[in-house]
Amino acid sequence: MTSHPPGRPRVFVARRIPDAGLDRVLAACDAVVWPEELPPSREALLAAVARCDGILTLLTDRVDDELLDAAGPQLRVVSNYAVGFDNIDVAACTRRGIAVGNTPGVLTESTADLAWTLLMAAARRIPEGVDHVRAGRWKTWGPLLLLGPDVHGATLGIVGFGRIGQAVARRAAGFGMTVLYHDVARVPEAVEAELGAAWVPLEELLARADFVTLHVNLTAQTRGLIGADALGRMQPTAMLVNTSRGPVVDTDALVQALRAGTIAAAALDVTDPEPLPADHPLVALDNCLVVPHVASATRATRGAMAEKAAANLLAGLAGEPLPDPVNPEVARR
Ligand code: DGY
């Protein structure tokens, strides 16, 4: 890491992001970019943000009063390189007049693609099949080998019916599925009709779905939403997919449910904790598939996220409304 020369706005970029965004930031700011693959330690982060006008953060960087104090009163904008912003104390930023931005929209389809990939892979036992071949256990065509449920014609339960949940529903249409959804509010009837999706109470969704896929934000209300009680309501043949945030699922309850056969399988892009240690019980379970939080990991999507994150940062530094504001009230003051 190099230090900030005087002059242009001072910015800390908490990781190398794709050039599509980083080049704009480097051209306009005196930016220090954290050069490591691993996030800065808390101590390093607090030191790096000191006297910055803007910060470009990742979901691994906690932004709270302590960090805002460390940055100082000149801080104008926090631009998160993610659509989720549960790593940021937005209320604390708003109180201080600091604009917060995120990257909605551009990762919707890639995230829905990965949710669908996980659903298909869990249903058709792809990781087990790959292990079977790699271990030299493929001796013949087996009438009972690696049987799983049909995806086509099954019932899909979507928890959280925003942009990504709706994109998953669109994919389900091609598989002739019955689509149930649950969210705090119903979407307009026209959207339900277009997507062939019916709102049901969460308990009913859990009881009826062959596949439950989670697309809620992490909030105080959704933390632990899928715990022992929710898992107990699911069918023993049902599968759980999570591409939202790890803490939406109670990890210990999930391990228990997978071991006991309360549900058939889980496929997770996000976990609690994250990263999941290699010796974690979820990793060892044959009926659990874990990938390392890669739902938005396509070249195009990560590039588009970088462009959005840069645009938010530069707008905030210029005192303009952010293109994708999390706390638009700051700009209205
Ligand atoms: C997000 O954007 O919130 C994802 O989890 C990472 O792309």
Amino acid at position 207, single letter: A
Q: Alpha-carbon distance 206 to 213, whole Å?
A: 10
> Given ligand 1 and candidates 111, 218, 301, 305, which is best to mutate, with the most ligand atoms within 8 Å of its CB?
111
Task: Give the binding-site residues of ligand 1, using a 6 Å CB cut-off.
Answer: 59, 82-84, 107, 296
HEC profile for 148-185? CCCCCCCEEEEECCCHHHHHHHHHHHCCCCEEEEECCC
Give, in order, the Cα–Cα distances in Å from 179 to each of 164, 174, 197, 265.
14, 12, 5, 19
Q: Work out which ligand 1 atom sits closest to the CA atom of 302.
A: 7
Beta strands in the chain (DSSP E): 10-13, 30-33, 54-57, 77-80, 99-101, 155-159, 178-182, 197-199, 211-214, 239-242, 265-268, 288-290
**Ligand 1 centroid distance, CA of 28 (Å):** 25
Q: In sequence order, which residues have a C-beta less than 8 Å from that of residue 192 and are 6 or more positions away?
A: 186, 198, 199
Decide: pTM greater than 0.75: yes
What lies within 8 Å, CB to CB, of 193 at 6+ separation is none
Paired residues of 198 in beta bridges: 180
Taking the C-alpha atoms of residue 46 and residue 52, their distance in angstroms, rounded to an integer, is 11
Predicted pLDDT at 60: 97
Residue 76 to residue 313: CA distance in whole angstroms: 9
> Measuring from atom 2 of ligand 1, which residue has the nearest CA?
82
* pLDDT value, residue 2: 53
Residue among 105, 100, 145 at smallest CA distance from 125: 145
pLDDT tens digits, 17-61: 999 999 999 999 999 999 999 999 999 999 999 999 999 999 999
Whose Cα sits closest to atom 4 in ligand 1? Answer: 82
As annotated, the active-site residues are: 245, 274, 293
Q: At what angle do helices 108-123 and 163-173 cross, to 10 degrees?
A: 50
Could you report the per-residue pLDDT of 191-249, keeping only the tens digit for each? Answer: 999 999 999 999 999 999 999 999 999 999 999 999 999 999 999 999 999 999 999 99
Return the ligand 1 atom nearest residue 103 CA: 2
Residue 3 confidence (pLDDT) above 60: no
Query: pLDDT by residue (tens digit) across 158-183?
Result: 999 999 999 999 999 999 999 999 99
Rounded mean pLDDT, 299-318: 98
pLDDT of residue 4: 56
Q: Buried (b) or exposed (e) across 236-258, using 16+ Cβ within 10 A?
A: eebbbbbbbbbbbbbbebbbebb
